[in-house]
Amino acid sequence: PYVVAGVSAQAPITDEVRSRIESHIDNINATLPAAGRIIRFFITDEQFTLQNGFMTRTLKLNRAALFNRFANELI
């Protein structure tokens, strides 16, 4: 029922990295109408790849796999 962002970080997830991502999302949300704003987000160090099933063979995100893996962070 709302927009969610998944952030796959290549650097270690420190408080500074988390803060910078939150700030960037706040800046993005300031430019969007209410219906398009990111309400929840999660940060992971897992990459979204074909090998772990987070991407389809056409290189699109596998939403079902991502939801199953990150359900606790999304709800």
pLDDT digits over 9-55, tens only?
998 999 999 999 999 999 999 999 999 999 999 999 999 999 999 99
Residue 75 confidence (pLDDT) above 80? no
When pLDDT is averaged across residues 61-72 and rounded to a whole number, the result is: 93
Query: 68 and 61 in contact (C-beta within 8 Å)?
Result: no
Are the C-beta atoms of residues 49 and 55 closer than 8 Å to each other? yes
CA distance 60 to 44: 18
pLDDT value, residue 74: 80
Give Cα 68 distance to the centre of its chain: 14
Separation CA 18–CA 2 (nearest Å): 21
Tell me the average pLDDT across 48-70: 95
Q: Could you tell me the pLDDT band of residue 1, with boundaries at 50, 70 and 90?
A: confident
